[in-house]
C-alpha cells in the first residue's frame, strides 16, 4: 500500500482547494509532502500546507534550508504516488518537455511512481492544441491525467478547465491505487467495535472498543481494491464508503453474522472486541433496585474466532487480535496456536493513549510460520495500511503454496 504521497501545487487559484486534499490524505494515514511552485506561493502560503501535512514545504531545488538540497531526488524516490493539483498549463508543458527548474518539476522528472495530474486552467488554454498535446504526451508516458470539470472559472468564463473537486481527486487516486495494488477480487471480511450484552431493556455490559482499528483496516482494504464486508458492533463512526456494512449488537449476533459470511471470504480480520461473557438471562422488564447489593450471573459467549477456525477453508487467511496488558508475546502466541490463526496482531492496551478508544495503537504481527513483524506505535490509519500490506502478501503466499 502507498505510504508517502507527494502533492505538487502549481500556481492556479484552485490551489486553495488542495489544502483540503492534503488534509484528507493526512487523515487517511498517508505521509504527505507538499512541493509548491513559486507561482503557487502567490495563492496559498507554504505555512498552510506545512501545518496540514506536518512536513516542510519545498519550492526551490537550491534552497539551502532544505534537507533535500544535496540529494534533491530523495523525495522522488520515497514517493509512492505524486499528485499535481492544480496542474496549470505551464506546469503541464514543463512536465511534458521534461524541464526541471524547481523542486516540483525536478521531482516529477526523477520520480518512478505513479503520477496523477489534476489540470486547472482557463477553457481556451485547456483546449489549446499545445496543452492537449502535452497532456497526451504525459498520458502516453503512463501518467494519470484527470479530466476537468465544467463550470464557472476564476477568469469569469464558464466552461471546461475547472480542477476536479478534492474528493473527486481522492477517489481517482484510490482507483489508481486499487488498480496498482491489486486486491481486486479479494474478499475481505472485517469485524470491528465492541459487542453489547443486554441485561434488561436499559442496561448492558460492554467494553471500551471504539471500532477505529477495524474501521481503518476495512478502509485500507477498500483503498487497495478489495471487496470488503465490515461487521460492526455499536460504534460512533461513519460507515466505511464502498464497504458492505453489517450491524450487530451482541456476541451472539457477531457469531451468527461472521460464521454466515466467512465461507465467502478470502481474508478474515477479527478486530472486534467480542464480550467473553453475557448475562445468563435477559430480563424483559427493567430491573428495579432493591436495598441490598446485586449479583449478576454471567455465562461464556461463543468464541467467534475459534468457530471460524473450525470452518476455515483452504486458502483462507484468518487473522485475530490479542489485546494484552502483560505477558504479551506468550499470550499472543498461545492465541495464535489455540485459535489456529495465520496471523495475530498483538497490541499492548496498557499504554496511555494507545489501544482502546484511542487514535493511536501499537502492533506487532506474529505469523504462523514464526515470522514476527513489529509495526511499532502509530496512528491506527497508518497501522491499518501496513497491516493490509502484510496480510495481502501473506495471503498471496498462502495461495501460492
For residue 319, the minimal CB distance to ligand CTP (Å) is: 8
Place of cell 481486486: 184
Stretch that binds ligand CTP, among 19-27, 177-185, 268-276, 358-366 (CB under 6 A): 268-276
| Strand-pair category, 197-200 with 267-270 | unpaired
Q: Distances in Å between the alpha carbon of 384 and those of 55, 354, 362?
A: 21, 14, 11
Place of cell 511552485: 37
Chosen residue from 35, 81, 218, 322 binding ligand CTP by CB under 6 A: 322
* CA–CA gap between residue 280 and residue 297 (Å, rounded): 6
Under the binding rule (CB under 6 A), the answer on residue 332 touching ligand CTP is: no
| Strand-pair category, 197-200 with 203-205 | antiparallel
Minimum CB distance to ligand CTP smaller for 143 or for 251: 251
Chosen residue from 323, 346, 363, 383 binding ligand CTP by CB under 6 A: 323
Residue 129 corresponds to which cell in the numbers above?
A: 492544441
* CA–CA gap between residue 228 and residue 314 (Å, rounded): 20
For residue 302, the minimal CB distance to ligand CTP (Å) is: 6
Binding mask 270-309 for ligand CTP (x = CB under 6 A): x-x-x-x------------------------x-xxx----
- Of 211, 254, 217, 251, the closest CA to residue 343 belongs to 217
Minimum CB distance to ligand CTP smaller for 108 or for 251: 251
Active site residues: 155
Minimum CB distance to ligand CTP smaller for 144 or for 321: 321
The angle subtended at Cα 234 by Cα 230 and Cα 236, nearest 5°, is 95
| Strand-pair category, 197-200 with 244-247 | unpaired
* CA–CA gap between residue 233 and residue 228 (Å, rounded): 16
Minimum CB distance to ligand CTP smaller for 251 or for 385: 251
Strand order in the sheet with 4-9: 31-36, 4-9, 81-87, 115-119, 144-145
Interface with ligand CTP (CB under 6 A), residue total 14
Minimum CB distance to ligand CTP smaller for 20 or for 328: 328
132-166 burial, b for 16+ CB within 10 Å, e for fewer?
Answer: eebbebbeeeebbbbebeeeebeeeeebbbbbbeb
Minimum CB distance to ligand CTP smaller for 12 or for 193: 193
* CA–CA gap between residue 10 and residue 43 (Å, rounded): 9
Q: Which residues ranging from 206 to 265 are in contact with ligand CTP (CB under 6 A)?
A: 251
Q: Which residues ranging from 27 to 66 are in contact with ligand CTP (CB under 6 A)?
A: none
* CA–CA gap between residue 316 and residue 389 (Å, rounded): 16
Chosen residue from 49, 181, 321, 366 binding ligand CTP by CB under 6 A: 321
Residue 172 corresponds to which cell in the numbers above?
A: 481517482
Stretch that binds ligand CTP, among 131-139, 217-225, 291-299, 321-329 (CB under 6 A): 321-329
Minimum CB distance to ligand CTP smaller for 115 or for 258: 258
Residue 143 DSSP class: -
- Contact residues toward ligand CTP (CB under 6 A) are 251, 270, 272, 274, 276, 301, 303-305, 320-323, 335
Amino acid at each position: 500500500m502507498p505510504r508517502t504521497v507527494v502533492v505538487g501545487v502549481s500556481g492556479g487559484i484552485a490551489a486553495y482547494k488542495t489544502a483540503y486534499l492534503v488534509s484528507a490524505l493526512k487523515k487517511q494515514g498517508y505521509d504527505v509532502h507538499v512541493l509548491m511552485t513559486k507561482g503557487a506561493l502567490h495563492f496559498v502560503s507554504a505555512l498552510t500546507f506545512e501545518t496540514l501535512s506536518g512536513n516542510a514545504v519545498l519550492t526551490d531545488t537550491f534552497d539551502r534550508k532544505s534537507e533535500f538540497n544535496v540529494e534533491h531526488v530523495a523525495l522522488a524516490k520515497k514517493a509512492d504516488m505524486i499528485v499535481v493539483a492544480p496542474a496549470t498549463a505551464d506546469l503541464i508543458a514543463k512536465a511534458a518537455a521534461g524541464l526541471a527548474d524547481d523542486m516540483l518539476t525536478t521531482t516529477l522528472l526523477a520520480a518512478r511512481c505513479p503520477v496523477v495530474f489534476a489540470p486547472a486552467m482557463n477553457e481556451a488554454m485547456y483546449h489549446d492544441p499545445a496543452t492537449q498535446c502535452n497532456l497526451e504526451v504525459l498520458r502516453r508516458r503512463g501518467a494519470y491525467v484527470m479530466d476537468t470539470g465544467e463550470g464557472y472559472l476564476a477568469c469569469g468564463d464558464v466552461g471546461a478547465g475547472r480542477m476536479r473537486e478534492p474528493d473527486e481527486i481522492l477517489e481517482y487516486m484510490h482507483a489508481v491505487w486499487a488498480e496498482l495494488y491489486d486486491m481486486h477480487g479479494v474478499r475481505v471480511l472485517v469485524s470491528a467495535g465492541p459487542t453489547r450484552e443486554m441485561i434488561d431493556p436499559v442496561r448492558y455490559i460492554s467494553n471500551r472498543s471504539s471500532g477505529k482499528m477495524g474501521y481503518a483496516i476495512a478502509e485500507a482494504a477498500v483503498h487497495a481494491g478489495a471487496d470488503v464486508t465490515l461487521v460492526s458492533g455499536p460504534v460512533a463512526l461513519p460507515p466505511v464508503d464502498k464497504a458492505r456494512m453489517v450491524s450487530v449488537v451482541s456476541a451472539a449476533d457477531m457469531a451468527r453474522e461472521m460464521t454466515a459470511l466467512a465461507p465467502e471470504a478470502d481474508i478474515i480480520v477479527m478486530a472486534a472486541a467480542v464480550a467473553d461473557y453475557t448475562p445468563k438471562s435477559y430480563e424483559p422488564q427493567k430491573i428495579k433496585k432493591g436495598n441490598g447489593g446485586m449479583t449478576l450471573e454471567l455465562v461464556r459467549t461463543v468464541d467467534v474466532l475459534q468457530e471460524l477456525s473450525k470452518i476455515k477453508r483452504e486458502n483462507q487467511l484468518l487473522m485475530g487480535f490479542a489485546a494484552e496488558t502483560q505477558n504479551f508475546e506468550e499470550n499472543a502466541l498461545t492465541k495464535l496456536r489455540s485459535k489456529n490463526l495465520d496471523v495475530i496482531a498483538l497490541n499492548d492496551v496498557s499504554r496511555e493513549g494507545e489501544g482502546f478508544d484511542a487514535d493511536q495503537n501499537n502492533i506487532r504481527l506474529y505469523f504462523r510460520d514464526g515470522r514476527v513483524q513489529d509495526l511499532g506505535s502509530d496512528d491506527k490509519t497508518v497501522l491499518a495500511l501496513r497491516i493490509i500490506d502484510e496480510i495481502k502478501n501473506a495471503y498471496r503466499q498462502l495461495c501460492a503454496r
